[in-house]
Amino acid sequence: MLPENDLWILSFYRASEITGALFFGRLARSLKPNDIQRDLTKHFCDEACHAWYWTECIERLNAKPLKLPNAYQDKYLEAAGIPVNMMEVLAVTQVFEQRVISQYSIHRQVPGLQPEIKETIERIMRDERWHIEWVGAALAKMEKKYGTDLVESTLHRFRQADRQVYKKTVDEHGQRIQDLMKLRRR
């Protein structure tokens, strides 16, 4: 049986992947077809699959996903402000994706992790690596238009918001994610 805290965190990941899929899907729908829209299409497809993998994983562990209020990303936008152009969207995405991959890689190291969870994390991490890659490349191209300094300072602003939201989440849910906290590096 899946311990309650584990069910909570898997449901948290699932809700966050659903929110990501919707965010990138809406964004793709609003853009004209170009390289960014192409990659965003694969991106929202991946995030939707991740939500499904967590759903499947929770079922394989004989549980049902929990309904959780407020996705993590909403708190992000509250802390960092709504991105005002494509460069800012990519910057916040880059920072967020780095957080996701670091969270999954910490979780993968939890001693005695159920094989279903480990497999799911590893499957998802392959896609998340590509997310960081394509967004990083698209951001680098934008430096011509926006200037390296502005791109850097935007990333810096979102990183500060990211640390703040992550810390707040850990403080709020410390009991639930005890095992992960023991492994937390930053």
Find out whether 116 and 61 touch, Cβ atoms under 8 Å.
yes
Q: What is the CA radius of gyration of the chain?
A: 17
Q: Toward Fe ion, which CB reaches closer, 14 or 131? A: 131
Q: Phi and psi of 89, rounded to 5°?
A: -60, -45
Q: Toward Fe ion, which CB reaches closer, 4 or 35? A: 35
CB of 100 to Fe ion, least distance (A): 6
Using alpha carbons, list the distances in angstroms from residue 26 to 2, 29, 175.
34, 5, 35
Q: Toward Fe ion, which CB reaches closer, 121 or 177? A: 121
CB of 17 to Fe ion, least distance (A): 5
CB of 142 to Fe ion, least distance (A): 19
CB of 144 to Fe ion, least distance (A): 25
| Inter-helix orientation angle 148-172/86-108, to 10° | 40
Q: Give the Cα separation of 170 and 145 in Å (integer).
A: 37
Interface contacts to Fe ion, rule CB under 5 A = 17, 47, 50, 97, 128, 131
CB of 149 to Fe ion, least distance (A): 27
Q: Give the Cα separation of 90 and 112 in Å (integer).
A: 36
For residue 129, how far is the Cα from the chain centroid?
11
- Helix locations, 4-114, DSSP H: 4-30, 35-60, 72-80, 86-108
Q: Toward Fe ion, which CB reaches closer, 137 or 174? A: 137
Q: Toward Fe ion, which CB reaches closer, 6 or 47? A: 47
Q: Give the Cα separation of 148 and 152 in Å (integer).
A: 6
CB of 145 to Fe ion, least distance (A): 24
Q: Toward Fe ion, which CB reaches closer, 135 or 151? A: 135
